[in-house]
Amino acid sequence: MTVSTPIGSILAARYRVDSLIGSGGMADVYRGLDTTLDRPVAVKILTDRSGDIRQRFLREAQSMARLNHPNIVSVYDAGESGGFSYIVMELAEGKTLRSLADEGIGVERAVALFVELCEALQYAHAQGVIHRDIKPSNLMVLPSGVLKVMDFGLARRTTDVSLTTHAGEIVGTISYLPPERYLGRAGDITGDLYSLGVVMYEMLGRRLPFESDEGDLVAVIFAHINQPPMPLRGINPSVPDALDALVLRLLAKDPARRPGTAGEVAAALRAILSGGAGAAPPAQSPSPTPAAAEAPPASPGAPVSPQPDRAAADATPRKANDASSGNMQSMLDATLRPARTLNQALGHVMGGMLATRNRRYEEAESSYTAALAALEQLSGQQVEWAKTALKLALMVLQKATEGLTTSAEIAQAERLLERAIPIFHGRHLRAELGDAERILQAFRRIPDRFS
């Protein structure tokens, strides 16, 4: 028999669930007791029962079970019992890095914790696991001072990322995601390193590198993709130059310009702690311009001969170069256009979600419509189109419950859902399929259709 709360339950005839200690988007974490070994444990219990979420929950257990490291919370068991899907883990108690950041922490202590975090990530990456949700609330510092990485709930095997991540899927916490995630690209270990850079910036600078006073999520996303962060020393002069340079490398927009591994970052941090030079390798210098590269240095004492007027002689080569440059620019624009279009579409979606939350329905409808139009231009974006159509329909339903919609708006939302449902069905997106069908039925039950 399934009960409404797991508290007091004995799962798998072994794990007693005692009290709630934390809640997340799809699971709750409880303090519990392993009655066989008489040791305290943390029991993570799934709250969302959809098929896709249960598979993701199982992936979490499988990913974490592969990891055995002093700076990573251990997984002891996983399964289903009494109607609950659960993971039994090491009980890590202490203060999260979020709490330490709020209290204030010295540079040297913070760097020492970052070394432990890098060692945990280096180990996980070597096992083929990407965390994908590195943020202060997922990092626990025990009373002994040891840092523990928690919640591999978004973890993926590195070999699975390109196969199971749909373009445009945005997961994790907005402020810590690498820019490539917003552009619909599959992530790799450098995404974890970018998130590490955000955490380091926040701990050392007491603020996020990209934030909005108005809580505008779209502005935050735009900044992650396009704007350079302010150097840390401009906020906290006690940060060493080498550490500032290292954090800025971690926050590079281009993944190829970030450090290659967490181990490389750990080595740089240790050098900073010991006062060593060259802790953070400098970013690559800009390449010399073609003109500078082509001009040979003058020999000492060589006579300087007057240069002839080469304008007429260079006219034809210049035209050819201009044509070549134009062709290259056209090719570059064509290559980048899909990513830019997808980026714009995701920005419109985020704007629509924010406007809906604030009941600015005309603005929300305009944003969702623009997103749908952009996604229609892109091949391979059917799922993102369908998800956006679902968001628009949900907004229309919310508007209808307030008596603010029209029959024409409802009819349009119905048409969008009727197109989206086969897409969800074909991709086995059961949660979205169920939501779409429920909203469609709700529209059809509205009396008089607000005519």
Would you call 143 helix, strand, or coil by DSSP?
coil
CA distance 5 to 297: 79
CA distance 43 to 18: 9
Contact 414, 390 (CB under 8 A): no
Q: What is the mean pLDDT of residues 79-97?
A: 90
What lies within 8 Å, CB to CB, of 215 at 6+ separation is none
> How confident is the model at residue 167, as a pLDDT?
37
For the chain, the first-to-last Cα distance in angstroms comes to: 46
pLDDT band at residue 153 under the 50/70/90 scheme: low
CA distance 111 to 243: 9
> How confident is the model at residue 282, as a pLDDT?
41
Q: What is the mean pLDDT of residues 410-422?
A: 93
CA distance 264 to 327: 39
Tokens of 343: 């980026």
Helices (H) and strands (E) in the chain, counts: 15, 11
Among 168-177, 181-190, 248-257, 313-322, the range of highest mean pLDDT: 248-257
Q: In the β-sheet with 75-81, what is the strand arrangement from edge to edge?
A: 10-11, 15-23, 27-34, 39-46, 84-89, 75-81
> How confident is the model at residue 402, as a pLDDT?
85
The β-bridge relationship of strands 15-23 and 27-34 is antiparallel
CA distance 184 to 369: 20
CA distance 138 to 151: 6
Contact 141, 100 (CB under 8 A): yes
Cα torsion angle, 433, 437, 438, 440, sign: positive
- CA-nearest of 392, 403, 400, 401 to 435 is 392
> How confident is the model at residue 69, as a pLDDT?
94
Burial class for 161, CB neighbours closer than 10 Å (0-12, 13-18, 19+): middle
What residues does 43 pair with on adjacent strands?
A: 30, 88
- CA-nearest of 407, 409, 384 to 396 is 409
> How confident is the model at residue 201, as a pLDDT?
96
CA distance 337 to 327: 15
> How confident is the model at residue 451, as a pLDDT?
46
Q: What is the mean pLDDT of residues 143-162?
A: 71
Q: What is the mean pLDDT of residues 284-308?
A: 37
Give 192-241 pLDDT, tens digit per residue.
999 999 999 999 999 999 987 766 677 788 888 889 999 999 999 999 99
**Is 245 a residue whose pLDDT tops 70?**
yes
What lies within 8 Å, CB to CB, of 193 at 6+ separation is 121, 250, 258, 259, 262, 265
The residue type of 339 is: A
Minimum mean pLDDT range among 73-82, 114-123, 232-241, 249-258: 73-82
Residue of higher predicted confidence among 315 and 164 = 315
Contact 156, 59 (CB under 8 A): yes
Residue of higher predicted confidence among 149 and 276 = 149
CA distance 183 to 39: 45
- CA-nearest of 35, 25, 27, 36 to 6 is 27
H helix intervals, 28-152:
51-65, 97-103, 107-126
Contact 231, 283 (CB under 8 A): no
Tokens of 436: 């779409």
> How confident is the model at residue 199, as a pLDDT?
96
- pTM recorded for the entire structure: 0.61
pLDDT band at residue 163 under the 50/70/90 scheme: very low
> How confident is the model at residue 146, as a pLDDT?
96
Give 335-372 pLDDT, tens digit per residue.
556 667 777 787 788 788 878 878 899 999 999 999 99
**Is 316 a residue whose pLDDT tops 80?**
no
| pLDDT, the chain, mean | 80
CA distance 338 to 334: 8
Could you give the residue numbers annotated as active site? Answer: 133
Domains present along the chain, CATH in parentheses = 10-89 (3.30.200.20), 95-273 (1.10.510.10), 339-450 (1.25.40)
pLDDT band at residue 280 under the 50/70/90 scheme: very low
**Is 60 a residue whose pLDDT tops 80?**
no
> How confident is the model at residue 334, as a pLDDT?
54
